Structure 1
Amino acid sequence: MAFFKKYSSIFTIIASVVLYFVFAYFLERTEFYTLCLLWFSLFVGFYILIKNENISFTTLAGVAILFRLVFLFSIPNLSQDFYRFIWDGRMILNGFNPYLSFPETFITQNLRPVSEASILYEGMGELNGSHYTNYPPLNQLCFFIAAIFANKSIFSSVVVLRILIILADLGIIYFGKKLLEKLNLPIKNIFWYVLNPFIIIEMTGNLHFEPVMLFFLVWALYKLQQQKWVWAAILIACSVSVKLIPLLFLPLFFQWFIGRSKTSLISKTCEVSKLALFYIIIFSITILLFLPFYSSELIANYANSVGLWFRNFEFNASFYYILREIGYLFRGYNEIAIIGKVTPILTILFLIYLTFFRKNKTTIQLITAMLFGLCFYYFTATTVHPWYLATPLILCVFTNYKFPVIWSLVIILTYQAYANNPWKENLWFVFIEYLILFTFLIYEVFHQHRMKKL
């Protein structure tokens, strides 16, 4: 027993490497029960490592890199989005604007604007290939870099994209540690994100670019904690230009600027001016980054592509599915066209509440508001893909809440849909997922409320 306790970390690391290798090179996403076995086994190893107080920060960081390198030469097996990433990057390299056309147009006209066009179109699927791209400019830059280094090989493009994501995670480790130190929180908290099997598999393994967005966001929060809000604004703009999600957080900065100032009129006026300039910098740089792709069709095409997620798609929703069933009961058909317009309004109202009626004066309070604002949006959304959870997961690292960690564990249940042919969700698995999540969330909320009273 003593021997096992002494060497348990080594055994856990070796076992995890083997499991990640099997996951990366031998698993098909239709093998749901094998997928779950590997997933939950990796989470056990993750918990053992993160709870071992004898392992140094440097060692855990090295282990996190090692686990990612296992995936370096694998082709993503849980997502096909990377084919569209490669397509967009090669379109830019060949002088095309990726926002102005969709792959299906070229294929149906028997045109091949990029190398391996037919393979890429077949890989991304008809649904992805029949819509305009919705990836912002700095995300497109990552795709372009892959095209520069690997214009003729899908495999090589995958390796380049994966290296960029791994580098972003290294940046998150670096600035996450610095921010935790500034907030007087345990620096090992960052490993709830960095060592999490969900992050390693969905981001490094399946090439979702949330880590690049989160790298800029964590860096921005660190600069904000340093009172360097101009730099923070620039970095938030970069984050928005990878994924649009940080736009949801912008109202929440109000109290961080205004609520911290003194009561004098001059002081308040100064802080209002800073806040206004903060927003101006963010929107100006975001627009500036879109300018290389500007055309009269860009805004309409981009808005149409983003709007599809509210009007057409349904996956892994929680409250939306309840509202949908109510719609079936009273109207007899799916109300997504109506509900998809109402739920964003609910999110806006909740963000207004967080902005003006909840204390967001400290950085921890601000990040906590971000966490709950974003999760409210996901709880009411029509579509919640697994990789969306990367943002709540990194935010919770800097708060007293850990329910996103539980969510990252049970999100694997959504992949049951891919075990069916044709694709079909089993709502019992969705119910189990959210039952576990909301049970833990309610527990944490009451626990934190009770701790504040002590």
Structure 2
Amino acid sequence: MVFSRKNTGFIIAVILTIILYFLFAFYVERTQFSMVLFLYISLFATSFYILKKGKENTKLLTSLSILFRLIFLFSIPNLSQDFYRFIWDGRMLFEGLNPYLYLPENFINQHEFPVNQATELYAEMGTLNGSHFTNYPPLNQLSFYIASLFAGNSILGSVIVFRLQLILADIGIIYFGKKILEKLQLPIHNIFLYALNPFIIIELTGNIHFEPVLLFFLIWSLYLLFKHKWMWAALLLACSISVKLIPLLFLPLFYQWFVKRSLDFAGMTKLFVFYLIIFTTIILLFLPFYNSELIENYFNSVGLWFRSFEFNASFYYIFREIGYLFRGYNEIAVIGKIIPVLAIVFLGFITFFRKNKSPKELITGLLFGLSFYYFTTTTMHPWYLATLVLLSVFTKYRFPIVWSLVIIFSYQAYSNLPWKENLWFVGLEYTIVYGFLIWELFFKNHHKKQYFDAHDSHAIS
């Protein structure tokens, strides 16, 4: 883009966006919901304008994507406290202690301080986080350890190291995302629906959540899979799972990619080896941490998301109210066990009853499989949405982009001390999301009768 008078609007939008991100990074607290909401919506407006006006210049948009992330580099996250646990785990590893075997609260209660700044880290991570075993997989722990190597005595230093890792991961996502879009014959600028999305920049780079690392390995894996380098793809998919477990849900959907027809023994063999590489790699990555207590501690911690935690849920809140009506108390212990079963049934349906044989069909299957799980989960933290946002840029569906805007309503809960959700805001969020989804499925292309991209004949396999 050549800067001239006709580009004045673009330049002003960039300057405003920089100012808005600066305010988010250094001056906003999550208890200030009105301010958070105003700045967030304003950022969506300026970012949309930048993408619309600059979509022909992907190098410029890439540079701006990096610049906007760098604004947060020297700020302490003010919308999330999870990073304090990341620092704790990394410093535990640095001290030669297995983070999967110890509770931070036990050390503090016994007046033991195994890591630098232990008292401050425990106080800031919160008693809820400090009273549970870590549930972050091995490659995520490696990221935490890297921060302890370079900044073992500084919280801000650790934050900087975390953010540099996340920014590098996002650069990798942009690189491989463009290549996949080229293969699918889709506009290259679609990747900036992810890279320039204020939700992605604030929630991941700003608040330090490691979805970019997960997504970097996932998108690299899909790229190699589409290049028919499926063994390397399996290895990278295992790395993605070893950052956060959520890509495990995708595994059934690769069935049709390998098994093209009935009694396809060659395809079944490839699929078996594909899964074998994935699970062997995951086991090997966990092996350095193995202890007889690890499995129990880890799955007890993961299980809390199904039997104890509730936040920004959708259908679960409806089921919960029905439980109150008929049983008089919260039914999370029962509903939390049913939700994984529903997710498995739905994944089975889209595995066997819709086409997942071309790249676009497969990605669309991943998108809807994970969406169903998030629609029914008991806990939907904002950063979980990042995977849907990225997958959507390779499809014709944009409901995750809309969701990335309205999910800011979930921050209303933090304006209360102690935090408490206002279900009117939750209802508004999901009314908009489901309304847009229904429009995309049934009305946007009403001349087409299929629900998914099962017959996208232009997709290249």
Q: TM-score band (shorter)?
A: over 0.9
User: 1:452 & 1:281 partners in 2: Cα distance?
Assistant: 39
1:451 and 1:50 map into 2 onto residues whose CA distance is 29
Distance 1:112 1:425 in 2: 35
Counterpart residue number, 2:334: 338
Aligned to 2:96: 95
Residue of structure 1 in register with 2:220 after alignment: 219
Q: 2:459 is matched with which residue?
A: none
- 1:161-204 residue CA offsets vs partner (Å, 9 max, x unmatched): 00000000000011111111111111110000000000000100
Distance 1:5 1:418, change over 3 A: farther
1:275 lines up with 2:271 in the alignment: yes
Which segment drifts farther, 43-52 or 422-431? 43-52
The code of the aligned residue for 2:117 comes to E
SS of match in other structure, 1:452: coil
1 CA distance for matches of 2:352 and 2:24? 46
**Aligned 8 A contact 2:253 2:366 in 1:** yes
CA offset digits 1:410-429 (Å, max 9, x no partner): 00000000000111000000
From the superposition, tell whether residues 81 and 53 of structure 1 become closer, same or farther in structure 2 (CA, over 3 Å).
closer
Partner of 2:458: none
Amino acid at match of 1:433: E
Q: 1:91 to 1:310 in 2, by over 3 A?
A: same
Deviations 1:414-447 (A, max 9, x none): 0000000111000000000000000000000114
1:431 alignment partner, SS class = helix
Amino acid paired to 2:267 = E
- 1:65-144 maps to which residues of 2 (within 5 A)? 65-144=66-145
Matches within 5 A, 1:46-445: 46-52=47-53, 55-259=56-260, 268-445=264-441
Matches of 1:107 and 1:449, distance apart in 2: 58
Q: Which moved more, 1:53-62 or 1:332-341?
A: 53-62
Corresponding letter in the other structure for 1:367: I
Residue aligning to 2:453 = none
Q: Post-superposition shift, 1:212?
A: 0.2
Q: CA deviation at 1:450?
A: 2.6
Q: Gapped runs of 5+ residues in structure 2?
A: 451-461
The separation in 2 between residues aligned to 1:448 and 1:101, in whole angstroms, is 52
- Displaced runs of 4 or more, over 6 A: none
How far 1:50 sits from its partner (Å)?
A: 1.5
Length-normalised TM-score, structure 1: 0.97
Deviations along 1:336-375, whole A, 9 cap, x unmatched? 0000000110000000001000111111111101111101
CA drift of 1:249 comes to 0.2
Q: Distance in 2 between matches of 1:252 and 1:453?
A: 22
- 1:52-105 Cα deviation digits (max 9, x unpaired): 256500000000000000000000011000000000000000000000011000
Secondary structure of 1:97's match? coil
SS of 2:329's equivalent? coil
Whether contact under 8 Å (2:54, 2:61) holds in the other structure is no
- Structure 2 residue identity aligned to 1:118: T
Matched to 1:195, the amino acid is: L
Distance 1:5 1:357 in 2: 52
Equivalent position amino acid for 2:317 in 1: Y
Determine the C-alpha separation between the residues in 1 that align with 2:115 and 2:394: 43
Say which structure is richer in helix: 1
Give the count of matched residue pairs. Answer: 447
User: Separation in 2 of the partners of 1:365 and 1:78?
Assistant: 36
Q: Provide the rounded CA distance (Å) in 2 between the counterparts of 1:451 and 1:190.
A: 28
